[in-house]
Structure 1
Amino acid sequence: MVCKLSTKLMNICVASFCKLQQLEKAESIIIDAIRLGTLPDVVTYNTLVSAYCHFVDLDSGYLILNRMKEAKIHPNVITYNSLLSGASKHSLHSKCIELFNEMGTMGIQPDVWSYNILIQCYFRLGKPEEANMIFHSFKSQNLSPCSTTFNTMFNGFFKTGYTHHALSLFRSSQRNGIFTPELLTYNILINGLCKSGWIRAARMILKELKESGFKPNAITYTTIMKHCFKSRKFQEGIEVFNEMKNNGYTYDAFSYSTLSSAFAKKGRLEEAYRIFKLMTEKGIEKDLVSYNILVNMYCIEGKIDKANDLLSEIQEFGLQCDQYTHTTFLDGLCRSGEIDRALDYLKYMDTLGFDSNLVAYNCMVDRLCKVGCSNDALRIFERMEVKDCITYTSMVHNLCKERKFLTASKVLLACLNRGMKVLRGTQRVVVKGLHSLGLYSEARKVQYLFH
């Protein structure tokens, strides 16, 4: 009895340290317990497997199985579910399938969560047919799919372009009474249908949501708003926002940001500012998305100092400026003609540790060309370690505008030799320009690579 209690206490301590990501301390607890005569059990090792998979990597979690073997403790379905979850988390989807098959060879019966993870992996691998086969095998395994199973299926079908299958599964599960949708389900359906362009079906689902007794939340309405604005149905999007507000539905900073962003894109900055004012009056704190929209609006108006003040305010409120924030401010500096300051800011961005400042560099190259500083743009272009087709296309277009067709052709050839695609219109402009300068040989080189 004492041993069991001691083991239970040890497991509680190990779990606590694992949650705090202090795995070394968790390991030391196990070592000390063994010295005192208390041996770890399957729960102890399952806790370690889960922690290593989540906070370190899959291999570290899998190595725990060797320790279990040495201790003559057999892994169970919880052990492998942790490994499956770890493989999925680290996007090792093929490995996830291998682990699932390994369960079978070890005589471990998968449960609903094992199948849920496997279904998700097949969808992420772009194999909806296989995911659907797994779903329909539940009955033969004497298992009943849970709400997570259905939501995974709906979401997976939408993301792989099988919109009809998602809606068909939803309707059949309703008719058969095997699934009662939740608010999360309705949000997944509305989002997927909107992205697929099935607006009438999305509105029908929204109507069913209201009739089901659930209360639409900010995600529900914001999803529809975003689609309305994306489809240029501006007034309809505003009506959705007003309906949400007038009917007392929950709305948050994201809803306000969506609406203010739509106003800003239409050039209706005064109305966008009013949305933010209303947001403040409601006591809703601005998130990073809200700040980014405000920074962009100030930059559009040339209010660089106000935009700069916002960058400081973001830090003061405990948020962290992202690449979009910095790139937007950099673009604002360029728009305002503060090129030297923009160049200094670009150097500052290089010190922030982002994986790549490609968008910022592309912005800088384009703006320098547009203000007649193509030589400076070329210098930045040449020192860029990473370039994409936008970088090359922007450089070529701007060089052509300055009638520097020979330099433009060299940039274009470098792009083509890297296997990047460029619009044929860009090629024609370069070829025509080279012909106008009598550079027929260079023109043939460009034409040859396009064929």
Structure 2
Amino acid sequence: MLASTKNSLLFFLHRSKPQTHCVLLRHLATVNAAPQNRVVPTKDDYFSAIQHITNIVRRDHFMERTLNKLRITVDSELVYRVLRACSAAGTESLRFFNWARTHHPTYHPTTLELEELVKTLARTKKYESMWKLLQSMQTHHGLTLSQESLCFVIEEYGNHGLVDQAVELFNRAPKTFNCLQTVEVYNALLFSLCQAKLFHAAYALVRRMIRKGLVPDKRTYSILVNAWCSNGKMREAQLFLEEMSSKGFNPPVRGRDLLVEGLLNAGYIEAAKEMVRKMVKEGFVPDVSTFNSLMEAICKCGEVEFCIDLYWEANGLGLCPDINTYKVLIPAVSKVGRIDDAFRLLHNSIEDGHRPFPSLYAPIIKGMCRRGQFDDAFCFFSEMKVKGHPPNRPVYTMLITMSGRGGRFVEAANYLVEMTEMGLMPISRCFDLVTDGLKNCGKHDMAKRIEQLEVSLRGT
């Protein structure tokens, strides 16, 4: 969408001088108006204009008066982007939308802007304004909500504890919005009921869904299981899954995986660990997404050794790790200094067909530097480059910093130069670290060359 209208605005500064003080005004003009001095608008100009309008909408008490002073070509994309940027300001967003409609007759609202504004009003609990807007848009423009936006509003009612309104909207969906009560709509109401801890009503809703001939999906099970687990009702969650399974409505993943995810979402890490440990002893492995969630939660608790042992056990039982598994484990293992395990995991990921991008091998390099194994780290870094896995700016920055902390200032200087040769601009801190370190160890000529390099790059 941006490609079609990103050049529709020209953003420039104009200084006006009132009698009392000078005010800096920004103006917008269309490219079709043949801008003076042949100024060609860029993508940055376009987004600067959007940001400026957004700031006016959010902060200016006299919004409409200020906007009227700007030469703006209002179209659907501009309105949508401003509304999206003001998603936390319900009243202000509505004022801007009404201004765009009333002051620019050529602008005709579309469903995109309407739904964005409705979500903002629902999020900020401006329900009365939301309903008035919907009625006006339906009457004058024939616009209504999509199923996705309808579900969002139902869930927002639940988040704010307005369950009765959520039920009413659910019931009105077919007639008022011409929206069928699909599984997604049922899930939205189910979420609202669970937010209010109305578990019996939620369970009854699932049974009604089945009676209507709808098949529960993964989110149906996840919503109810997560809610039960969050309230310590493990037994109820397990019985529900068993009942659904006996009726032939099997979850997309095994029931115990959903229970593990429910325990993790509820913060019961130890219970989740125990359940997965029991599954592995019985010869079963969890779904890989469930396994990754468990690994991430346990690594955050600092129990990396448990994660490593569980990984190898599950791997032996046929677990097929994905790239997210290694993105969780390799940094965690490297951070605690278990470099050998980190290398084994990296090699496993390569054997699985995953390319070792920087965020996978950078933690290993950092771990080796922390242990003082700088020569090994430099060798491994070179190996990654030779094998066609070029480092990015954060990797070079990390390596220069770690080398400097370890007193390897010559190597740090070489990496800094190499970084610039690849077209990557080092941060000022790297230049300061390298030049100060070289001077302190007597390498004044090299320090001078690094200073000259910084001047040539920055132009100052």
Where is the helix percentage greater, Structure 1 or Structure 2? 1
TM-score with structure 1 length normalisation?
0.48
TM-score of the superposition, structure 2-length normalised? Answer: 0.47
